[in-house]
Amino acid sequence: EKAGFEHFMMKEIHEQPKAVRDTLNSVVKDGRIDFKEMQISDEDLNKYEQIYIVACGSAWHVGMAAQYVLEDLTDIPVRVELASEFRYRKMPLNQKALVIVVSQSGETADTLAALRLAKEKKLATLAIVNVVGSSIAREADHVLYTLAGPEISVATTKAYSAQLAAMYCLAVQFARVREKITEEQYSFYISELLSIPEKMEKVLEDKERIQWFAAKYANAHDVFFVGRGIDYAISLEGSLKLKEISYIHSEAYAAGELKHGTISLIEQGMLVIGVLTQDELYEKTISNMLECKSRGAYLMGLTTYGHYEVEDQVNFAVYVPKVDEHFVGSLAVIPLQLLGYYVSVAKGLDVDKPRNLAKSVTVE
């Protein structure tokens, strides 16, 4: 049942190209995105003035990444909320908002409660869900299914990637319907989206390099992940993957925040992982990382092929293929998932069932 892999997590990491391909293929028809099955019309997509993305854990990280993509491609302001906060927060809600809840299981208590609250307030709701027929899928006005298949490992990988892909489709379609991008750009974005699964395969081919690095860092006590924009959102997910299965303390910081407090924690030998996939932000983030290096930190830089200057700046470089920058997080997250996995294995831990955690969190 593990298809020759030692753990479900590794099997599911390898199923990501398929999860993304299946999810994309369910909405991309003849080179166009088609949301007919979830009963959302172009008219609907035109009327929203605000998007709230509400979720927990990794699904919230998907929201964090999607926010940058949606806001850059469309004219709609996006706010990302933790479901456990949203449901108790008395915030003024825009009546012309679309509330997007994201959940693999479709049963997460806080996310379900947030969905019910949004419905009570008469807001339009859309659920991005993996489990067909789950509570969230049944109750939301519209459902966009991720086709990741059953996910067994507690630490999510393929559901996360499928959720990201679903979000990209929403962003591109919103952008086209609202005429924020031309027909040419629309076709370009769709072909970039369709290129993701194959590029994911390529990232997976380099896994031994990550395994080697993980063995070296299995005894680390503290790890920092840094990045700006989409790279920050990917850092959040990388940090959670590492800590939840390896029990190594790790934190993700928006790189610009380091000097507002956190840099005082940097000590000799500490590992700082920088996500550097956004060309415009590369110089800014690498300079924050170099400040850590001069205080003794060991640097891992995760960037795209072509940024070979990184070799002179960091101690360990990891590359992913290029794809339109809005979508590169889908590739950058994989080496970070692998890092968490291999560190956990090197420490002899229960990778698929980390202590104190359940796959589906049905209590608040």
Specify the residue, 216 or 243, whose C-beta has the smaller distance to ligand F6R: 243
Provide the annotated active-site residues: 359
Number of residues engaging ligand F6R in binding (CB under 6 A): 15
Q: Is 84 in the site for ligand F6R (CB under 6 A)?
A: no
Segment lying near ligand F6R (by CB under 6 A), choices 24-32, 55-63, 167-175, 325-333: 55-63
Residues 223-242 within binding reach of ligand F6R (CB under 6 A): 240
Residue of this chain nearest to ligand F6R (CB atom): 57
Q: Is 27 in the site for ligand F6R (CB under 6 A)?
A: no
78-82, strands of its sheet edge to edge? 78-82, 50-55, 97-103, 124-129, 142-145
Specify the residue, 115 or 270, whose C-beta has the smaller distance to ligand F6R: 115
Q: Which of 84, 108, 239, 278 binds ligand F6R (CB under 6 A)?
A: 108
Q: Which of 26, 74, 104, 239 binds ligand F6R (CB under 6 A)?
A: 104
Of 360, 349, 347, nearest in space to 56 by CA:
360
> Token pair 């949004």 is at which residue?
118
Query: What is the DSSP annotation of 224-268?
Result: EEEESTHHHHHHHHHHHHHHHHH--EEEEEEGGGGGGTGGGG--T
Segment lying near ligand F6R (by CB under 6 A), choices 53-61, 217-225, 263-271, 281-289: 53-61
Segment lying near ligand F6R (by CB under 6 A), choices 40-48, 99-107, 115-123, 169-177: 99-107
**x-marked contacts with ligand F6R along 138-177 as a string, rule CB under 6 A:** -----------------xx---------------------
* Whole-angstrom distance, CA of residue 271 vs CA of residue 5: 29
Under a CB-based contact definition with an 8 Å cutoff, are residues 275 and 302 in contact? yes
Q: Which residues, other chains included, contact 350 with Cβ-Cβ below 8 Å and sequence gap of 6+?
A: none
Under a CB-based contact definition with an 8 Å cutoff, are residues 248 and 220 in contact? yes
Q: Which of 26, 67, 103, 330 binds ligand F6R (CB under 6 A)?
A: 103
CB of 136 to ligand F6R, least distance (A): 8
CB of 204 to ligand F6R, least distance (A): 19
* Whole-angstrom distance, CA of residue 319 vs CA of residue 189: 22
State the distance between the two ends of the chain, measured CA to CA, in whole angstroms: 32
**x-marked contacts with ligand F6R along 244-283 as a string, rule CB under 6 A:** x---------------------------------------
Query: How many Å is the maximal CA-CA distance in the chain?
Result: 57
Of 163, 46, 149, 147, nearest in space to 111 by CA:
163
Radius of gyration of the chain (CA): 20
Specify the residue, 59 or 299, whose C-beta has the smaller distance to ligand F6R: 59
Cβ neighbours, 10 Å, residue 56: 21
What residues make contact with ligand F6R under the rule CB under 6 A? 56-59, 103-105, 108, 111, 155-156, 240, 244, 360-361
